[in-house]
Amino acid sequence: MGKPPEIDAPGKDAASSFDNRNDVPTIYFDIAPAYGVMSGIVQIELGQRVLIPHSDDSVDVRFVTSGRLRCSAAAAMHLRNALDASLKMLEQPAPNPVGASKLN
């Protein structure tokens, strides 16, 4: 296992650099059914909806764990701010595409 990346001390640089990597997982979830704090660490459980087919053509709907978030309070605030900003984007009306615009 490789050495973890160096982490700059707080206040060292006003604008931290961000390295975009393509080998990290994308986490999809439908619900956040449980959350809490333990020893100062924010804990959030994530779940996704799955369909379980049966031989009689019936289907059960269940939720299964899709991920677990663990972070500091500062990281949780960054996540909350990103979620709030993303939800605000959903409230804005989508612009009309050129092909769908009305002509006189």
For 86, other C-beta atoms within 10 Å of its C-beta total 9
Q: Which of 71, 80, 64 is nearest to 28 (CA)?
A: 64
pLDDT level of residue 39 (50, 70, 90 thresholds): very high
Residues in Cβ contact with 51 at an 8 Å cutoff, skipping those fewer than 6 apart: 59, 60, 61
Locate the domains of the chain by residue range: 31-90
Which residue carries 């984007």 as its tokens? Answer: 89
How far is residue 69's CA from residue 100's CA, in Å, rounded to a whole number? 41
CA distance 48 to 67: 9
pTM of the predicted structure, to 2 decimals = 0.66
Percentage of the residues of the chain whose pLDDT score is greater than 70: 77
- Name the residue with tokens 């619900």: 31
